[in-house]
A = this chain, B = another copy of it.
Amino acid sequence: MTANTGETTLDAFHRGDFFVVQPARGGHRAGMDAMMLAAAVPGGFAGRLADLGAGAGAAGLAVASRCPAARVVLVERSPQMAAFARETIAHAQNGRVAGRAEVLEADVTLAGKARVAAGLEDSAFDFAIMNPPFNEARDRPTPAALKRDAHVMEPDLFERWVRTAAAIVKPSGAVALIARPQSIAAILVALSGRFGGCRIVPVLPRATEAAIRIIIRGTRGSRAGLAIEPPLVLHGETGHGHAPRADRVCNGRESLFGD
């Protein structure tokens, strides 16, 4: 559900449990990807979570909404999108999550002292989630600068984002990310030696179609093997509505990994 006020929209998520204020045009608009990513966090999660590249805050707030003891930090480098994230938290209808959410304007790709100086301190989080800009430059150039910022993949993107996630989560903390299947090798290489026990869920539009996204969760320092889980199938064989499990997962009623 979207309420359009010209420049911005107010979008309801989780069947109206929380709302996101975001640009009507030109920016990266949050939706399904953010909801599926948030569903990778266990329902009982009660720690501090960083939403890296949070945009207007949809994924982070979805965690705060589903996990009533979770505290979330929305990390966003674009001043415009960080302003939307602040507006989202402050919105009157988000009172249930507002006290457990804050915005940190910082570039996720910073390293070392520059990262710490930007507010992303070592071992400061229990969980990091990320929806890195996934379209490589050659795929589809987008005119609007805001949109390009959120969508264009830079070289070594996963390496730099996962490096930051590994630095800021505590030992035995976790990371989850959503990306295109094409990126699986780059992601696994970046996770290697940092996060283990990785579990991958392919997201299929329909049961007979190839995956359009993958969601990966890993645990800091784990030596457990990788697992490929059954896919999340978005739609039934006919019609445009969500399949029952996808509906529950995207609306904060069920976690993606059954925990």
Q: Which residues of A contact B (CB under 8 A)?
A: 181-182, 184-185, 188-189, 192, 199, 202, 204, 207-211, 214, 225-231
Contact = CB atoms under 8 A, between A and B. Distances in A.
B184 A188 contact: yes
A230 to B, nearest CB: 6
Nearest to A211: B228
Contacts of A228: 181, 184, 202, 210-211, 214
> What is the count of identical protomers in the complex?
2
A201 to B, nearest CB: 10
A225 B182 contact: yes
Given A181-B225, A184-B188, 9 more contacts: A181-B227, A182-B225, A182-B226, A184-B184, A184-B226, A184-B228, A185-B188, A202-B228, A210-B227
Contact of A210 (B189, B192, B230): B230
Nearest to A258: B208
Contact of A231 (B182, B184, B189, B231): B231
A173 B181 CA distance: 23
Contact of A185 (B192, B211, B230): B192
A232 to B, nearest CB: 12
Nearest to A182: B225
